[in-house]
Structure 1
Amino acid sequence: MDIVSKLTDAWWLSARGSDADHVNKHNAARNEVAYFRRSFSLVKPATLVLSISAHSRFRLWINGQAVLSGPCKGDRWRHYYETINVSSYLTAGDNVLAVKVVAYSPYEAQPPGWGGPFSVTSNAAGPCLIASGRCVAEDGEILADLATGKPGDEWLVCLDDAVSWEAYGPTHFMGGMERVAGARLPHHWNLPGSTENGKWHIPIRRWKADGRPYGIIPPFPLMERPIPLLYETSRRFRSEVDVKKGNREQFSFIEGAAEPQPAVIPPHSKRKVVLDAGELMTGYIILPLSGGQGSRVTLLYAESFSKHREGGFPLKGKRDDAKRYDLIGQQDVYLPSGERETYEPFWFRTFRFMQIEVETCDEPLVIDSPEIRETGYPLNVQSSAVSSTAWIRPLWDVSVRTLQRCMHETYEDCPYYEQLQYAMDTRLQILFTYAVSGDTRLALRAIDDYHASLLPEGILQARYPCMESQVIPAFSLHWIFMVEDYYWQTGDPSVAVRYRATIDSVLDWYDRKLGPQGLVHRLGYWEFIDWVEAWDELHGAPTATLTGPSTIHNLLYVYALQSAARLSRLGNRFEVADEYEARAGHVLQALQRLCWSESSGLYREGPECEQYSQHAQIWAVLTGLASGEQGRQLIRRMMDRDDLLQCSYAMSFYLFRAIEKVGLYEETEQMWKPWRDLLELNLTTWPEDPFMQRSDCHGWGALPLYEFTRCLLGVKPGAPGWETIRIEPHCLSLQDMRGQAITPKGMVRVNWFIDDGAIHISGESPEGTPLLVAMPDGSSCCMPQGGAFRLSCPAAGNSETSLDREGNA
């Protein structure tokens, strides 16, 4: 397919003109803002399918209505464009397309936090726009051609001198926060009508969309967006918080009224209000106001109430405790022009609480209740899990929200602090997405992103897309797991074949790190494994890395070799698969010889490191180094000891998998205590880790989505692509569980309960797909055509199982 098929008739427009130097004098961060608009008139109804992109980012309005933001995050080699049907925004008579473009300064040009988000690619081109679309009447007549750069087109641009940026250290990955002088903005520019003379000029035509001859790659290699558009939904803050602190009186939008009312802030006064969205939110803020020339309005965004802590992230307790804690967070500042206007920060913000702080001058300021345009990836949650056990429902609901808030144009580690896509985090978030929606589109995009991050030495970047390159060697291995997960979800081997060279490159990089003991060591970069408190001084890297090989790193390498061997066979590369298995076997032999402690019955952290963790035992089981009864006894010893280094949320998934593999899953109920305890803190999403708790929303914490569907309901693929389905529920101490799990073959419904010493399981699976139901007593039933089922067995004891499928024995 032609990668620029929707924009071949358009040219890139540059905003830089005669007043560019003037703009930069007012813009200390060297980010640049430009406003593009295209007026046109329609004499009869028309349809318009618009394709659009910009450097670095844009937000589009049509006739004053917000439409979308973009372009989808890309990199130097993939600059995406969006295509959307905007016919519903058109009106008879005058219309206007209005595009705000922000060009972030190149990463190297600014200290961290002053430019743009690390996840957004930028260069020195400045604000640029490209768009194409035709307004077509029902009879086929073209009423307006809106392509940029055509001779005689009517696009205009205005360079901004009103917005500057200021870094906020803790979230410097997100770029600077806005400082806006309202009097210098081109107000009402996104509405039909005349523009202010003197500020608007004709933009400069720069590059044709379809590139350059002789194979030269253009500055912005255009490709169509690979994922759905983000949704935007109008929301309101749920309540106001009573905060009686400091020298500012409170004001209110509610004051007992059924609907929020405008607040009037008197002259020469200082007032504030704290608004609670009711849950952690990602969205665009829209703040209408009027009057108040000379005033200052500060918007502060916070995940929770907290306290400053010396040398660390804020100290948190109950997240909505406004009496003992304060609001600490990012701030946008707006200086009203004195006219009727609306302030909208360009980038969406992450918050549960927002404080509006006002200081007026000689005029009163009127502020309307702010609107939130919630945004995120359109995750279609179809699975569900319900139980009479009280903690099941809240853990599920908080997990769904956590996953949703960490999905936008990529998967994200945390929406408040970074909005960066990290490989280890992303692998888990993809599995959780498969469990609740079955959607593979963002997963496939992530797989391709990491492939595109490959460095010349053969290792992947840990987070991508990102303007700052970072390597965490183990994260490249998690990417390999990600590729195999995709195969199991879809049954499509082409993705594994497509990226086999990248998989080989990563594993060859590791092979070059083999030392004289037969183990990989001295990996370099950041040898992170997990946020373990005992490893805090090494920022999550095992202590063993200080003295030699790390058992955990080597086991991860083995697990990746085993995964790559299976993937290699999909492409008929049997010799490569054999080679990978042989490599894995040699490393396992060295680990058994050098890292097994006979006295403790555990694997130590390294040949020269007498430290013990859950992590080493987990990966010993997952790789098969400890298998069968040996693996079962290893996990029992691990669970019986409370002096081992513990897995945080980041590694809990693998802890559950190892316990499940050795047949002890029924003993995992105690492991839900950290999640249940967090509910007492009034969190609405799961935090990053149990002891530092930097972020209140981190995708890897949404583990219940996987465990409840795959293990408590027990719905799993029996073969790649779900060509067979397996239902194997685990009861723990629960008395019942019901719900459904989405699969590529259709919905699987399961309902089980314990009554009078027996377990009763019923449900329905897609017709035509073979089904195996494995009962808790060890019995099983195979249904070659799937369909409805009803089974019972004793809660313990014999293996006699009764089957009733649509009344047939």
Structure 2
Amino acid sequence: MSPMLDPRRLTPRPIPHLPEISKRFDGVVNCSDDTNIEGWKKLLRDDRPMKLAAGSISVVEIESKVLTTGFLEFDFVVEGTGDAPEIQILCAESYENDMDKGQPRSKDDRTNFRTGKLYGPTDTYFCNTKLSRNHYEPFWWRTFRYLRISVSCPPTSSLIFNSITYRSTHYPLPITTSVSSTDLVDKLHSTSVNTLLNCMHETHEDCPYYEQSQFAMDTRSQLLFSYTISHSDLLARKTIHEFYASRRDDGLLETHFPNPGRGMNIPQFSLYWIFMLQDHMIHFHDLALVKRYIGTADGILDHFAGRLNEKGLVGKFEVEGTWAFVDWVGEWFTPVKGFSSMGVPKAYYEKGAATVNSLVYALALKSAAEMCTALGRNDTTTEYLERAESIIQAVNEHCYDVKNGIYLDGPGATGQYSQHVQIFAVLADAVNGEAARTLMRRTIRERETLGLAKASFAMSFYLFRAAVKAGIYEEVWEELLSPWKKMLDQNLTTWAESESMVRSDCHGWSATPMYEIMREIVGVKSGWNETKIIPRVDLVNEMRGSFVVAGGDTVDVSWGESKQVKLKASKDMEVELVLRATSIHIKLLQGEEQCFSWT
């Protein structure tokens, strides 16, 4: 009988192997015995042996200057033949406020070792007294900025540390963008890059410390961030294919994938995969890739079409196995519905529809229409645009509060408002022109007065995009940037997950500043067939850097007190410079700097 299944097929690895780079810890933060501090420092710096006496209990806290991912390596010798010494190793992202008496989790200054404490999972290693030399190294990499090492030596055995080091590891993204600007801009960019790289390994991850899962919504943003510093799309192509491989019989994709089994599904996340596919087309124009996957986009859109209610809005999804999550918003929790109501607008349950689902669906229809146009599927383009317009009409008819001039979280959901709905109303063209400008100003500046639920760090990326589209970006730049400035003040070296939920200190979806610096401040907007540079010279008074453009080439852009924008390209290329609303078409010659003045 023929086999029912083909044998497992091996295919070439689509991404490079992850490097492992030997590193040393940067210093000692705390020590249970002050007389041992110098000994620990010499051990970390020079591999000078550090002996812990039999019968002693020692605790030391050490640091890496920035949060990192890597393989820990401890090398030590056991002296004695009695009971084995025990080593406990706790990896932590930061110092936190005391939770020992049941206080809610909270963080302020992440370096506050004086009153803060380290919390996290602990590895326990029991030394082998039959071996004079022991080596500890976990199978999987750890995420850490701080380590607490607790060593308990029994009365009959001592322990000598010969080295405590680690090998840092993350995806080897070839970076060709560099930034040198004000101290603030430099910190925003370097912290964003560190965040992104720590969330890239064999896959993209939401965060390296906790789930280490590749979520579709998170990853869409992370890919866009990576395109600002590198022209390599190897991991992007792998990511797109992995979500394609997760497609379900209902047309949706798995919310996070690869995963060990079918989990709770967030329908809206499948729409972000459509955005992901369109982003790749814009940056790389690989129409063969788009053609391969466009059918999956059709299936996702058909699923949402099947959820339209009598008002023409996206209604409720299937209850079983579905989480109608939108964003981590503190107000969005319905206790009687349990965990699966977290991050879900209350109007979804109370009114049978959440406006934001319809708007994101309409935006995805427009994205798919652009891809269909590129593929010559003009009839489908027309269909998708008509479907999008129908959704938008339904939103404007049933979900707009005429009296207050703002969109509701659901049809008839009086008093329930959020930044999210206003953001996607602008992005989906439910509102435009002066009305969009007014709406976005109110969304940002009158949020508390109007009672709008606040967009998280993840959704702030789309808040920035809506500000751009409404033409108020420079007006609200300082206000939108304030959460990231606060994180810098709290001494983070990567961007945190959320303001409303204090947990992860490294979340890829929060690396928005690197996108803003490249695409909006320097203003490099490079698609497959054109490169525009639209610098916002009034927002940042000095800038110098080299920025990746389509094809993997670079353009050097700088300006400062001379009130000149200077451009230099790595090869001959044509660019359009828009300087204070004046458009200039330029032929840049390889290596030759050209200057353009403003007044």
Same fold (TM over 0.5): yes
- Matched with 2:296 is 502
- Matched with 2:597 is 792
8 Å CA contact 1:248, 1:272 repeated in 2 = no
Structure-2 separation of matches of 1:464 and 1:669: 36
Residue by residue, what CA displacement relative to the aligned partner does 1:470-527 show, whole Å, maximum 9, x if unpaired? 3111110000000000011101111111001111110111011010111111024111
Q: 1:542 to 1:731 in 2, by over 3 A?
A: farther
**Distance apart, 1:309 and its partner CA:** 7.4
Range 560-569 or range 249-258, more displaced: 249-258
- Matched with 2:74 is 287
Structure-1 separation of matches of 2:256 and 2:102: 26
Structure 1 stretches of 5 or more lacking a match?
1-211, 795-809
Structure-2 separation of matches of 1:786 and 1:555: 44
Is 1:729–2:519 an aligned residue pair?
no
Residue by residue, what CA displacement relative to the aligned partner does 1:266-297 show, whole Å, maximum 9, x if unpaired? 11221121111111111111111111552111
8 Å CA contact 2:44, 2:165 repeated in 1 = no
Structure-1 separation of matches of 2:100 and 2:40: 33
8 Å CA contact 1:403, 1:699 repeated in 2 = yes
Structure-2 separation of matches of 1:265 and 1:309: 28
The amino acid that maps onto 2:23 is: R
Identify the structure with bigger relative contact order (alpha carbons < 8 Å, sequence gap 6+).
2
Alignment of structure 1 residues 246-265 onto 2, 5 Å: 252-254=39-41, 259-265=46-52
Structure-2 separation of matches of 1:618 and 1:370: 49
SS at match of 1:459: coil
- Matched with 1:363 is 157
Q: 1:429 to 1:463 in 2, by over 3 A?
A: same
Q: 1:539 to 1:457 in 2, by over 3 A?
A: same
Alignment of structure 1 residues 51-200 onto 2, 5 Å: none
- Matched with 2:93 is 303
Structure 2 stretches of 5 or more lacking a match?
335-340
8 Å CA contact 1:295, 1:360 repeated in 2 = yes
Is 1:484–2:278 an aligned residue pair?
yes
- Matched with 1:657 is 465
The amino acid that maps onto 2:359 is: L
Q: 1:294 to 1:244 in 2, by over 3 A?
A: closer
Q: 1:598 to 1:351 in 2, by over 3 A?
A: same
Q: 1:485 to 1:728 in 2, by over 3 A?
A: same
Range 592-601 or range 725-734, more displaced: 725-734
Structure-2 separation of matches of 1:330 and 1:216: 41
Is 1:270–2:57 an aligned residue pair?
yes
Is 1:330–2:121 an aligned residue pair?
yes
- Matched with 2:337 is none
Larger fraction in strand: 1
Structure-1 separation of matches of 2:442 and 2:164: 56
SS at match of 2:223: helix
Q: 1:475 to 1:672 in 2, by over 3 A?
A: same
Structure-2 separation of matches of 1:414 and 1:669: 27
SS at match of 1:391: helix
Structure-1 separation of matches of 2:36 and 2:324: 50
8 Å CA contact 1:250, 1:272 repeated in 2 = no
Residue by residue, what CA displacement relative to the aligned partner does 1:33-85 show, whole Å, maximum 9, x if unpaired? xxxxxxxxxxxxxxxxxxxxxxxxxxxxxxxxxxxxxxxxxxxxxxxxxxxxx
- Matched with 2:260 is 467
8 Å CA contact 1:713, 1:738 repeated in 2 = no
Residue by residue, what CA displacement relative to the aligned partner does 1:427-484 show, whole Å, maximum 9, x if unpaired? 1110110001122111111100100111111111110001142311111000000000
Structure-2 separation of matches of 1:257 and 1:429: 34
Structure-2 separation of matches of 1:402 and 1:661: 27
**Distance apart, 1:672 and its partner CA:** 1.0
Range 402-411 or range 282-291, more displaced: 282-291
Structure-1 separation of matches of 2:260 and 2:589: 49
SS at match of 1:773: strand
Q: 1:256 to 1:625 in 2, by over 3 A?
A: closer
The amino acid that maps onto 1:330 is: P
**Distance apart, 1:575 and its partner CA:** 1.4
The amino acid that maps onto 1:593 is: E
Residue by residue, what CA displacement relative to the aligned partner does 1:624-656 show, whole Å, maximum 9, x if unpaired? 111122222222232331322221110111111
Q: 1:233 to 1:312 in 2, by over 3 A?
A: farther
8 Å CA contact 1:253, 1:260 repeated in 2 = no
SS at match of 2:598: strand
**Distance apart, 1:330 and its partner CA:** 1.1
The amino acid that maps onto 2:484 is: W
Residue by residue, what CA displacement relative to the aligned partner does 1:669-712 show, whole Å, maximum 9, x if unpaired? 22111111111211111110113221010001111111101111
The amino acid that maps onto 2:85 is: S
**Distance apart, 1:730 and its partner CA:** 1.4
Bigger CA radius of gyration: 1
Out of 452, 456, 472, the position equivalent to 1:648 is: 456
Q: 1:552 to 1:248 in 2, by over 3 A?
A: farther
Larger fraction in helix: 2
8 Å CA contact 2:521, 2:539 repeated in 1 = no
Q: CA RMSD in A?
A: 2.3
Is 1:609–2:399 an aligned residue pair?
no
The amino acid that maps onto 1:297 is: I
- Matched with 1:672 is 481
Matched-pair identity in % = 36
Q: 1:595 to 1:368 in 2, by over 3 A?
A: same
**Distance apart, 1:213 and its partner CA:** 6.6
**Distance apart, 1:364 and its partner CA:** 0.9
8 Å CA contact 1:253, 1:369 repeated in 2 = no
TM-score (norm 1): 0.68
Structure-2 separation of matches of 1:254 and 1:606: 59
8 Å CA contact 2:251, 2:300 repeated in 1 = yes
SS at match of 1:436: coil
SS at match of 1:504: helix
Q: 1:736 to 1:248 in 2, by over 3 A?
A: closer
**Distance apart, 1:250 and its partner CA:** 7.5
TM-score (norm 2): 0.91
**Distance apart, 1:419 and its partner CA:** 0.8
**Distance apart, 1:345 and its partner CA:** 1.1
Is 1:564–2:348 an aligned residue pair?
no
**Distance apart, 1:308 and its partner CA:** 2.3
The amino acid that maps onto 2:225 is: F
Out of 22, 36, 44, the position equivalent to 1:234 is: 22
The amino acid that maps onto 1:750 is: V
Is 1:782–2:585 an aligned residue pair?
yes
Range 735-744 or range 276-285, more displaced: 735-744
The amino acid that maps onto 2:566 is: S
